[in-house]
Structure 1
Amino acid sequence: MLSESSSFLKGVMLGSIFCALITMLGHIKIGHGNRMHDHEHHHLQAPNKEDILKISEDERMELSKSFQVYCIILVKPKDVSLWAAVKETWTKHCDKAEFFSSENVKVFESINMETNDMWLMMRKAYKYAFDKYRDQYNWFFLARPTTFAIIENLKYFLLKKDPSQPFYLGHTVKSGDLEYVSVEGGIVLSIESMKRLNSLLSVPEKCPEQGGMIWKISEDKQLAVCLKYAGVFAENAEDSEGKDVFNTKSVGLFIKEAMTNQPNQVVEGCCSDMAVTFNGLTPNQMHVMMYGVYRLRAFGHIFNDALVFLPPNGSDND
């Protein structure tokens, strides 16, 4: 009897392990036979100033006016203080920013996704944005309320990227054979990637609403799985020196690490001058970042930027 029970338990354990492996392989070993073209993963860099200066002044002005980014912020009702800080700070620099939540919070004019599941919220937000704004915006930026973004740097980074190509970029992370963009640093999709994602949202075999059979994977990994089926692959965004511009940590943490690891080169060892995002910020830190990035000025110093990105009409941004 004991022998039979032992055999039964071993069978259950082996069966569970087998199912887990199948689930993992199902999420990771996909997409290679379904590539729509050769837009493979690589490290993408921001344009350098010399390239921008080759563009005529009239063309640069036209670019600065026409380049628009739609911002998606995924929030939870309990994050009210973060929500307020994001609304009062960097999202003013988006050409349009909307908040997506599990509830309708009138004071923030949130869009109710009617779910607490972050993957369901993300896919519903992407579908909403595509259905409503596909003819107005070519770039879609998604972030959490703990993220601070410098939208002008994002626009500069994207300047020479063609949105009719399937871009999916940010801070890439590798998990087994799956490479994905971490939501902690923010996720950027071109309109072409949005089209491909939207076409798969109604295909549960390729882009399921729920995760694996055994355990649930994070929403950013789920997104990568869906996009991989459409031939869209994660790309890491860097500056001309190879430094990440989408960051999953706060400035303070980067400086602390640089002081420990590179005490003689704290600035060089910290962050990119063209950083787009930092993550893990408190509401107070959001306002401090806003002060440092947009309000603090050195009197008499003129920045000779090759481009100027104008704020949206009617914006009260800094």
Structure 2
Amino acid sequence: MISESTSFVKGVLLGGIFCVLVTFLGHIKTGYWTKVRHHEHHHIQAPNQEDVSNLSEVERVELSQSIRVYCIILVKPKDLGHWAAVKETWSKHCDKAEFYSSENVKVFDSIALNTDDMWAMMRKAYKLAYDHYKDEYNWFFLAHPTTFAIIENLKYFLLKKDSSQPFYIGHTVKSGDLEYVDGEGGIVLSIESLRRLSKVFEDPDKCPEQGGMIWKLSEDKQLAVCLKYTGAFAENAEDSEGKDVFNTKSVGSLIKEAMSNHPQQVVEGCCSDMAITFNGLAPNHMHVMMYGVYRLRAYGHDFNDALIFLPPADSDND
């Protein structure tokens, strides 16, 4: 009899705990996901050559000079090899690039955030970038140290985008009801989206610093949760032919996939001609990319680009 009573009590307790958990999860879903459930991301495309050729020379110059990109690279001491490669290669093509590190590292200049948590690092980096540079730059590009970026292609993609609108751009992924920009491919925020984000950072109910769920979200997902309250939703970036331009894999991986899936069209099936990022590169591969993108030329092949984006005036890079 005692045994049966004990089993009954255990059952009641377990049932109660289960009900509380279901209610809690239901509350979380309502608080975090309801507003994004019905949203389908847009497919934002880069301008085609005809769009650009129809611009007057004055318009081209004005547009090219109006796009100013501030690059944020999140790093940790274990990333020193990649850190050095990024510093020596593509980051010099940003209008300004700064490294935000989890702690102070003597061998490289960086802004120490004094936290090892990636979401906390991202929050602090965005907040500092906005506070210091909101009047100087209109686009903010965040990347990991394993990412290689072609900033000129990013500027071309942004050519006719209005930074006073809440753009949140990259390679979009869907996880349950949440659509977010995958951080491995790089994340682009317009100054307006960053302005709104800096405000929502101040509301712990909408954008908690430690996250408000019983499980931990990755930093790129947590960013999407916060941005949904600002009216900025994840937008997938594509070229004029519909190919992704923010890549979460390396060129080598994408070529291997193309050889398996499109053996007759490896080049066409691999990557966009206007690709902006690749990820998962070793430091030496970044230098190879730098050579291929900025130095290697095919003799006799003439490129007639309608626009020219030069590196910053004080850059010692190509």
TM-score range, shorter chain: over 0.9
Correspondent of 2:27 among 22, 25, 29: 22
Identity %: 72
Amino acid at match of 1:114: N
Q: Distance in 2 between matches of 1:130 and 1:165?
A: 16
For the pair 1:227 / 2:232, whether they are aligned, the reply is: no
Per the alignment, residue 296 of structure 1 pairs with 296
**SS, match of residue 203 in structure 2:** coil
Q: Is the 8 A contact 2:36 2:179 kept in 1?
A: no
Q: How does 1:169-188 map to 2 (within 5 A)?
A: 169-188=169-188
Shift of 1:31: 6.3
Q: Is the 8 A contact 2:36 2:177 kept in 1?
A: no
Per the alignment, residue 309 of structure 1 pairs with 309
Per the alignment, residue 135 of structure 2 pairs with 135
Q: Distance in 2 between matches of 1:21 and 1:108?
A: 46
Q: Distance in 1 between matches of 2:40 and 2:310?
A: 33
Amino acid at match of 2:172: T
Q: Is the 8 A contact 1:19 1:214 kept in 2?
A: no
Moved more, 170-179 or 20-29: 20-29
Per the alignment, residue 168 of structure 1 pairs with 168
Runs of 4+ in 1 over 4 A off after TM superposition: none
Shift of 1:17: 4.2
Per the alignment, residue 239 of structure 2 pairs with 239
Runs of 5+ consecutive residues of structure 2 not aligned to the other structure: 1-5
Per the alignment, residue 266 of structure 1 pairs with 266
Shift of 1:41: 3.6
Q: Distance in 1 between matches of 2:194 and 2:90?
A: 23
Shift of 1:111: 0.4
Q: Distance in 1 between matches of 2:41 and 2:13?
A: 45
1:50-103 deviations in whole A, cap 9, x for unaligned? 111111223323333332100000111111111111111110110100011111
Per the alignment, residue 119 of structure 2 pairs with 119
Per the alignment, residue 13 of structure 2 pairs with 8
Q: Is the 8 A contact 2:37 2:177 kept in 1?
A: no
Moved more, 62-71 or 262-271: 62-71
Runs of 5+ consecutive residues of structure 1 not aligned to the other structure: 34-38
Query: Would you say how many aligned residue pairs link Structure 1 and Structure 2?
Result: 313
Per the alignment, residue 88 of structure 2 pairs with 88
Q: Is the 8 A contact 2:46 2:158 kept in 1?
A: yes
Q: Is the 8 A contact 1:31 1:231 kept in 2?
A: no
Q: TM-score normalised to the size of structure 1? A: 0.94
1:16-71 deviations in whole A, cap 9, x for unaligned? 344234324422113689xxxxx984110000111111112233233333321000
Shift of 1:133: 0.4
Q: TM-score normalised to the size of structure 2? A: 0.94
Q: Distance in 2 between matches of 1:298 and 1:31?
A: 47
Shift of 1:226: 1.0
After superposition, the CA RMSD in angstroms is: 1.8
1:206-264 deviations in whole A, cap 9, x for unaligned? 11111133111111111111111111111100011111000111111111011011111
Q: Is the 8 A contact 2:67 2:158 kept in 1?
A: no
Per the alignment, residue 36 of structure 1 pairs with none
Distance 1:113 1:12, change over 3 A: same
Q: Distance in 2 between matches of 1:207 and 1:139?
A: 22
Q: Distance in 2 between matches of 1:17 and 1:74?
A: 37
Q: Is the 8 A contact 2:37 2:178 kept in 1?
A: no
Q: How does 1:24-103 map to 2 (within 5 A)?
A: 24-30=29-35, 41-103=41-103
Amino acid at match of 2:101: S
1:102-150 deviations in whole A, cap 9, x for unaligned? 1112332110111111111101101100000000000000011111100
Q: Distance in 2 between matches of 1:31 and 1:269?
A: 32
